[in-house]
């Protein structure tokens, strides 16, 4: 039976960089989830009888939210819902399922790399028929709707058993519970040379993959250990836990430091890798060599043709604006397009759909391709594995060769987390106001060539996105970029991205923070970081 239930709007349901992310207790407020989900459906048309994919990273509140979403979807007229067993699907697996089932869209439940648990974070994101995050015009419409919603529609029925594979009926909607891994693993087999990778493992290649007690555990066990023959024990922390074991499932050098330490030790396997809460980010560290996400994008783009799924080459490369320019040099050499977009995977969707780009990446540990419309952590690991197996070289050797060919972009991101929002906003305003006067200013050997507020014009749909990050660009090609995170859930997070290009092979082996030290000092001075945030140093350096 369908019920129409009266509700009152919440004022804080504006989707950020990647859907609505808040602390769990906020989502647990009365009708908070219901309002947002009904607002999603109110912003869409033409889904009567269509298929909706639903799944999340298994974090705390995933199961409760799924029951609500299914009942609201059924009441709103969807014909079929496809749900990963236990409500578990990685973000790229949702994208893959939407595409292979030709579904109308999907709902992804995750707060990505943010901690989980009763006091942790949760999130809801809507993905459209191409498998990617809804574009801004849709998220804007959803937000507008959340501000005026007065009721939602829901089927009154017992909860669906989401742990048993098979089909059940919920009102007029069919609910299919499917294996979380199968469809995704089959897609990976079409892209990579599994025989070649299997041979490498048989020949003694070793790796550790840390699933961080998050969603990629089951995927990695099946693909790396069962299908590719990696030694049992290759996958660490492979059982997904609702609170990620109390850890921060963020595969960076702070939260995956143990992996970094292992890779730098004499016990290092050939490859250390990790993925985040919902499986879309990746960390790649070879024996003795960390690969920055920006370099990883460039190396993968330059070598993708070695994998069967990309043997015809790469049509173009896209990167988010704050991502380093390493990929630009690869695009230049290959004679293909390079697209610079705002932060947020949703901006890659149109470029991928139009066939303008094949590979995309972001400094925030995201890399992906046209196989889905999300970044994809395991995909990046598998492409690295395939390239390593094909070239029969170490990660370090491949990176050195890359820098010798293209030059090295020294790159680091400094995050000031949970700073006071008013202070952070004041910093951005003050810096934005000072942009016109920065051009031509000299700081020692560094001269500011250009300073602006990044704006993006989408070449496919013609839409414009403004205020996407403050760029200070120097005459020698160095850059400092400032922006506020759109994914934090407490206070504000100021991100400062610092980059310097080094063409001289003799100078390509400095420690990164040392290589960037003058720019780092300048990043404080130009924006008055301490004055506005009361912080002398960043909380996370990646
Ligand atoms: C999300 C987005 C990414 C973005 C990242 C960081 O990743 O999908 O496109 O780069 O957030 O965004 P911000 O700098 O605004 O915090 P994820 O892995 O959190 O879904």
pLDDT per position as a tens digit, 211-244: 999 999 999 999 999 999 999 999 999 999 999 9
Q: Is the CB of 35 under 6 A from ligand 1?
A: no
Each residue of 93-132: pLDDT tens digit? 999 999 999 999 999 999 999 999 999 999 999 999 999 9
Taking residues 451-458, report their average pLDDT: 96
Query: What was the pLDDT predicted at 196?
Result: 98
Query: What was the pLDDT predicted at 490?
Result: 80
* Distance from C-alpha of 519 to C-alpha of 474, rounded to nearest angstrom: 10
Q: Residues of the chain with pLDDT > 90: what percent?
A: 96
Give the residue numbers marked as catalytic: 112
Q: Is the CB of 294 under 6 A from ligand 1?
A: no
Could you tell me which of 472, 452, 447, 468 has the C-alpha nearest to residue 523? 472
Query: What was the pLDDT predicted at 99?
Result: 98
Q: Is the CB of 486 under 6 A from ligand 1?
A: yes
What confidence tier does 497 reach under pLDDT thresholds 50, 70, 90? very high
Query: What was the pLDDT predicted at 444?
Result: 86
What confidence tier does 278 reach under pLDDT thresholds 50, 70, 90? very high
Do the bridges between strand 289-291 and strand 492-502 make them parallel or antiparallel, or are there none, so unpaired? Answer: unpaired
363 Cα: distance to centroid of ligand 1 (angstroms): 9
Tokens 């859907």 found at: 19
pLDDT higher than threshold 80 for residue 517: yes
445 or 374, higher pLDDT? 374
- DSSP helix/strand/coil, 244: helix
* Distance from C-alpha of 452 to C-alpha of 472, rounded to nearest angstrom: 7
Q: Is the CB of 343 under 6 A from ligand 1?
A: yes
Query: Which is the closest atom of ligand 1 to the Cα of 483?
Result: 14
Taking residues 397-419, report their average pLDDT: 96
Do the bridges between strand 173-178 and strand 166-170 make them parallel or antiparallel, or are there none, so unpaired? Answer: antiparallel
Residue 484's DSSP bridge partners are: 494
Tokens 């017992």 found at: 158
Q: In the predicted model, what is the mean pLDDT of the chain?
A: 96
Query: Which is the closest atom of ligand 1 to the Cα of 110?
Result: 20
Q: What are phi and psi of 326, to 5 degrees?
A: -60, -40
Our mutation pick for probing the ligand 1 site, out of 14, 16, 18, counting the most ligand atoms within 8 A of Cβ, is 18
Alpha helices in 102-249 (DSSP H): 136-146, 182-191, 194-202, 216-220
Query: What was the pLDDT predicted at 445?
Result: 87
Q: Is the CB of 252 under 6 A from ligand 1?
A: no
Query: Which is the closest atom of ligand 1 to the Cα of 374?
Result: 8
Taking residues 129-142, report their average pLDDT: 95
Taking residues 65-78, report their average pLDDT: 98
Least confident of 17-21, 176-180, 480-484: 17-21
Query: What was the pLDDT predicted at 488?
Result: 76
pLDDT higher than threshold 80 for residue 489: no
Query: What was the pLDDT predicted at 487?
Result: 81
Nearest CA to ligand 1 atom 13: 485
Nearest CA to ligand 1 atom 4: 344
pLDDT higher than threshold 90 for residue 18: no
Each residue of 303-356: pLDDT tens digit? 999 999 999 999 999 999 999 999 999 999 999 999 999 999 989 999 999 999
Specify the length of the chain in residues.
Answer: 542
- Give the chain's domains with CATH numbers: 2-180 (3.40.120.10), 184-406 (3.40.120.10), 408-541 (3.30.310.50)
Taking residues 279-298, report their average pLDDT: 97
Q: What are phi and psi of 332, to 5 degrees?
A: -60, -45
Q: Is the CB of 240 under 6 A from ligand 1?
A: no
Q: How is residue 467 written in tokens?
A: 């205020």
Q: What's the distance, Cα to Cα, between the start and end of the chain in Å?
A: 52
Taking residues 287-316, report their average pLDDT: 97
Tokens 């990167």 found at: 319
What's the pTM value of the predicted model, to 2 decimals?
A: 0.95
């Amino acid at each position: 039976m369908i019920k129409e239930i009266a509700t009152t709007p919440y004022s804080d349901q504006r989707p950020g960089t990647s859907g609505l992310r808040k602390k769990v207790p906020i989502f647990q407020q009365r009708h908070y989830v219901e309002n947002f989900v009904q607002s999603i459906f109110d912003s869409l048309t033409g889904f009567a009888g269509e298929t909706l994919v639903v799944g999340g990273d298994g974090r705390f509140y995933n199961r409760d939210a799924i029951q609500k979403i299914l009942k609201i979807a059924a009441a709103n007229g969807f014909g079929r819902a496809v749900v990963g067993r236990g409500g578990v699907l990685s973000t790229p697996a949702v994208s893959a399922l939407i595409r292979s089932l030709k579904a109308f869209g999907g709902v992804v439940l995750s707060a990505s790399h943010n901690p989980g648990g009763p006091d942790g974070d949760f999130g809801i994101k809507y993905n459209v028929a191409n498998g990617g995050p809804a574009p801004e015009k849709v998220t804007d419409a959803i937000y507008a709707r959340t501000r005026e919603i007065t009721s939602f529609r829901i089927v009154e029925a017992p909860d669906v058993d989401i742990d048993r594979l098979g089909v059940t009926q919920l009102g007029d909607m069919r609910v299919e519970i499917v294996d979380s891994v199968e469809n995704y693993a089959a897609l990976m087999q079409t892209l990579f040379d599994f025989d070649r990778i299997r041979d490498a493992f048989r020949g003694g290649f070793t790796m550790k993959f840390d699933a961080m007690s998050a969603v990629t555990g089951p995927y990695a066990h099946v693909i790396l250990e069962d299908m590719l023959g990696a030694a049992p024990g290759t996958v660490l922390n492979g059982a997904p836990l609702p609170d990620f074991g109390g850890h921060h499932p963020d595969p960076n050098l702070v939260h995956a430091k143990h992996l970094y330490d292992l890779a730098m030790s004499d016990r290092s396997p050939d490859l250390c890798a990790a993925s985040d809460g919902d499986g879309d980010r990746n960390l790649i560290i070879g024996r003795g060599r960390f690969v920055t996400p920006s370099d990883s994008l460039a190396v993968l783009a330059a070598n993708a043709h070695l994998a069967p799924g990309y043997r015809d080459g790469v049509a173009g490369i896209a990167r988010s604006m704050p991502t380093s320019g390493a990929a630009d040099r690869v695009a230049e050499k290959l004679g293909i397009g390079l697209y610079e977009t705002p932060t947020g995977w949703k901006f890659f969707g149109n470029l991928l759909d139009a066939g303008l780009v094949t590979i995309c990446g972001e400094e925030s540990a995201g890399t992906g391709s046209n196989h889905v419309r999300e970044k994809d952590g395991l995909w990046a690991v598998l492409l690295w594995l395939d390239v390593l197996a094909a070239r029969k070289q170490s990660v370090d050797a491949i990176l050195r060769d890359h820098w010798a060919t293209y030059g090295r972009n020294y790159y680091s991101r400094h995050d000031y987390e949970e700073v006071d929002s008013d202070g952070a906003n004041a910093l951005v305003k003050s810096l934005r106001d000072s942009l016109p006067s920065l051009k031509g200013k000299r700081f020692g050997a560094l001269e500011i060539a250009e300073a602006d507020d990044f704006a993006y014009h989408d070449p496919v749909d013609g839409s414009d996105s403004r205020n996407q990050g403050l760029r200070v660009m120097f005459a020698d090609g160095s850059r400092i970029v400032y922006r506020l995170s759109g994914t934090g859930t407490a206070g504000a997070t100021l991100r400062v991205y610092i980059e310097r290009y080094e063409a001289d092979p003799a100078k390509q082996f400095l420690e990164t923070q040392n290589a960037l030290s003058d720019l780092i000092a300048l990043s404080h001075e130009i924006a008055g970081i301490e004055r506005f945030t009361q912080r002398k140093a960043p909380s996370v350096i990646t």
